[in-house]
Amino acid sequence: MSSHSLLETQKLEVFINNKTVCKGLDIKINYGERWGIIGVNGIGKTTLLHTLAGLREPKDGNIFLQNENLAHIPRRKIAKTIGVLFQNDTQAFPGTVLETALIGRHPFLRSWQWETREDIKLAQQALELVDLNSMDSRMINTLSGGENRRLSLATLITQGPLLYLLDEPTNHLDMHHQINILDMLVKQTNVKKQSTIMILHDVNLAQRFCDHVMLLFGDGEILTGPTKEVLTTDSLSRLFNHPTIKIDSPNGPVFLPA
């Protein structure tokens, strides 16, 4: 076990609904790395992400967060290091935009404590990063799908974890905001060398923003490694069961269905 990795899995086996998502998975995520998870619908990407977040137990194997077994760390302590962006956020009783962003401070506050001026400042800065400034007192049920998505990201940034686990962060976002948000996340996570693992549906976003990728083929087979080595027309054709071609653009290679 290297002493420098942020998250490490040993012989991880994840299993859901009679399906093996991964088996014998050994990965090491170092500080500052950005990993993409790619695979077809229903292959178990979200299940894998939740397992890495400690939200469900693996069938076998171990996960280590900063060299400590994730299964033995209290939830509240995990929440100070790992933050999760879920695919959907629903709120039974909607609050305001600022209240929602402030929820990110929860793991850092004691039980009777109220958010301080400092916490509010953090939340407002995060809202500005996702382009939601001057919306503090809007009720969140009046936001659009894309605005809600950005608010969830702002909540996550307010939480300020070392490891960002993102389930389709660009869901509901227009092209401009897709690139903007991911650019912003890159900038944001470069500050303290935070790491990111994100499920992406767009191979080309992974190509552009991730230095490592995991391809989920099903039946427990996973291909992992540096993006340049793993993302090829061969691997992608096999992954999506559809022939793929590669075109060079000024921003690097672009993959398209043939």
Partner 1 sequence: MKYPSAFITGLLVLTPLSFLYALSTGSVDIGWNEIWQVIIGKEHGLNHDLIVDLRLPRATSAFLTGAMLAMAGALMQVLLRNPLADPYILGVSGGAAVAALSAMIAGLGGLWVTGSAFIGALFSTFLVFGLAHRQGSWTSTRLLLTGVIVAAGWGALISFILSVAPEANLRGMLFWLMGDLSHTDSSLLPLIILIVCFFICMPFARDLNILARGELQASALGVSVFSLRLNVYFIASILTASAVTLAGSIGFIGLIVPHIVRLITGSDNRTLLPASILMGGCFLTIADTLARTIISPQQLPVGVITAMLGVPFFLFLLQKNKQYS
User: Are the C-beta atoms of 225 and 239 separated by less than 8 Å?
Assistant: no
Residue appearing with tokens 């086996």: 13
Q: How far apart are CB 39 and partner 1 at their closest, in Å? A: 20
Phi, psi dihedral angles at 214 (to 5 degrees)? -120, 125
- Cβ proximity to partner 1: between 96 and 204 the closer is 96
Q: How far apart are CB 102 and partner 1 at their closest, in Å? A: 10
Q: Which has the closest alpha carbon to 177: 153, 198, 203, 142?
A: 153
- Cβ proximity to partner 1: between 89 and 229 the closer is 89
Residue appearing with tokens 């500052």: 32
- Cβ proximity to partner 1: between 39 and 83 the closer is 83
- Cβ proximity to partner 1: between 79 and 181 the closer is 79
- CA distance linking residue 242 with residue 258, whole number of Å: 8
Beta carbons within 10 angstroms of residue 74's beta carbon: 7
- Cβ proximity to partner 1: between 114 and 249 the closer is 114
For 32, the 3-state DSSP assignment is coil
- CA distance linking residue 29 with residue 26, whole number of Å: 10
Q: How far apart are CB 77 and partner 1 at their closest, in Å? A: 8
Q: How far apart are CB 91 and partner 1 at their closest, in Å? A: 6
- Cβ proximity to partner 1: between 80 and 246 the closer is 80
Q: How far apart are CB 196 and partner 1 at their closest, in Å? A: 15
List contacts with partner 1 (CB under 8 A): 50, 53, 55, 75-80, 82-84, 86, 89-96, 99, 103-104, 106-107, 109, 111-112, 114, 137, 139, 141-142, 159
Each residue of 226-252: b (16+ CB within 10 Å) or e?
A: ebeebbeeebbbbbbeeebeeeeeeee
Q: How far apart are CB 17 and partner 1 at their closest, in Å? A: 14
